[in-house]
Amino acid sequence: MSWLFMFNVLSPYGQIARQVYSTLESVLEPLLRPIRNTIPPLGQLDLSVFILALLILFFRDWLFPQLLIAMPG
């Protein structure tokens, strides 16, 4: 969303855009902080969002189905 602000797709002065941005930041920042502490940014490139997305896909597509198969029932 910061890219949308940077390239003037969204106005950072709009109330709705600020509320959405602050909500997303408050939800994602606790998840991204440990990744950022482990893997520092490469110059201006922050890979933490990409790594978080890969972890979510891993849990959704592989680990969660494996746990469901392993459950008796």
Chain segment 41-50, per-residue pLDDT in tens = 888 888 999 9
Identity of the residue numbered 55: L
21-46: per-residue pLDDT in tens?
899 999 999 999 999 999 988 888 88
Alpha carbons 48 and 39: distance in angstroms, whole number = 7
Q: Which band of pLDDT confidence, cut at 50, 70 and 90, is reported for residue 71?
A: confident
pLDDT at 53: 94
Which residue matches tokens 């902080």? 33
Domain limits at 30? 2-70
pTM above the 0.85 mark?
Answer: no
Q: Which band of pLDDT confidence, cut at 50, 70 and 90, is reported for residue 73?
A: low
How many C-beta atoms surround the C-beta of residue 58 within 10 A?
11
Dihedral, CA atoms, 4, 8, 14, 19, nearest 10 degrees? 10
| Average pLDDT value for residue range 47-66 | 90
Domain total in the chain = 1
* 64 alpha-carbon distance from chain centroid: 19
Say if CB 52 and CB 31 are below 8 A apart: yes
